Amino acid sequence: MINLGRDTSICQGNTVTLNATTSGTTVTYLWNNGAVTPTISVNQAGTYFVKVTADGCSASDTIRVTILTPPTAFSIGNDTTYCGSFSRILSTGNANTVWSTGVTAAQITVTQPNTYFATISNSCGSESDSIVITQDAIPTVQINKDTMICGGQPILLTAITNASQFIWNTGETGNSITINQAGKYWVSVTNNTCTAVDTVYIMECEGDLWVPTAFSPNNDGVNDYFKIFGKNVLEYKLLLLDVGRVFYLNQTI
């Protein structure tokens, strides 16, 4: 009886010896690859057959040889820094991947900064890759509230923030700027790799003047005085006409 053993597998580049050695006075061997020796060494996948004749009696056996390849090198991505919260899928496409999180799967979803490892193994070897994921806090920033500017009077705009780098739409790079024109102003602040922006609107003020049409100087406590009221008015000139005479009154509110 001839027994070549169970079907077997070898790693790519290796060889396996198939042994059909049989006792007897007169023994001959014939393999399907043409060999006539008791043993042969093979390094190719395939089905191998041998016929052995010993003292006039013949027997045969077959064995299948499979070639295994080591895992292919792979990448789970470049090291990455995220601003604030994140969700990242790491994938190899191989369901036999063992991750440093303890999960065996083709992919995992991560939401925390860490160094993650992935390993794919078989009997011929293993391949690994890693990725470093870091997380930076998004800076906070707030400029003054929207306001009005009157008569070109300067206004100081200050970025209240925990960031260390500033750039205003005016091109200035300090944490404060002084402006004297209406318009839209914004600042972009950066802390490490994360950026935040805030905007303020400065509007031109409009002056209003209220002039009474009458008054009653009778000391009754109601409308006893002729008084002009103004909003966003710095100075006005009052012209009084009295029987051909003209009086000018300059007054500051």
Same domain assignment for residues 85 and 124: yes
* Residue 124 within any structural domain of the chain: yes
Query: DSSP for the chain?
Result: -----S-EEEETT--EEEE----SSSEEEEETTS--SSEEEE-S-EEEEEEEEETTEEEEEEEEEEEE-PPPP------EEEESS--EEEE-S-TT-EETTS-BSSEEEE-S-EEEEEEEEETTEEEEEEEEEEEEPPP-EE-PPPEEE-TT--EEEE-EES-SEEEETTS--SSEEEE-S-EEEEEEEEETTEEEEEEEEEEE---EEE--S----SSSSSS-S---EEES---EEEEEEETTEEEEEEE--
* Residue 101 within any structural domain of the chain: yes
* Residue 74 within any structural domain of the chain: no
The residue count of the chain comes to: 253
Same domain assignment for residues 162 and 126: no
Tell which of 114, 136, 158 closes a domain: 136
* Residue 1 within any structural domain of the chain: no
* Residue 212 within any structural domain of the chain: yes
Q: Report mean pLDDT in 10-residue bins for the chain, 253 residues.
A: 92 95 92 96 96 93 95 96 96 97 98 98 95 96 91 91 95 95 96 94 78 76 72 63 52 49
* Residue 60 within any structural domain of the chain: yes
- What integer pLDDT is reported at residue 35 of this predicted model? 96
Residues 162/142, Cβ–Cβ less than 8 Å:
no
Same domain assignment for residues 26 and 60: yes
CATH code, domain with 61: 2.60.40.10
* Residue 37 within any structural domain of the chain: yes
This prediction has a pTM of 0.62
* Residue 36 within any structural domain of the chain: yes
Residues 189/163, Cβ–Cβ less than 8 Å:
yes
Query: How many other CB atoms are there within 10 angstroms of residue 85's CB atom?
Result: 9
Structural domains in the chain (count): 4
- What integer pLDDT is reported at residue 56 of this predicted model? 87
Domain, as residue range, for 130: 80-136
**What single-letter amino acid sits at 81?**
T
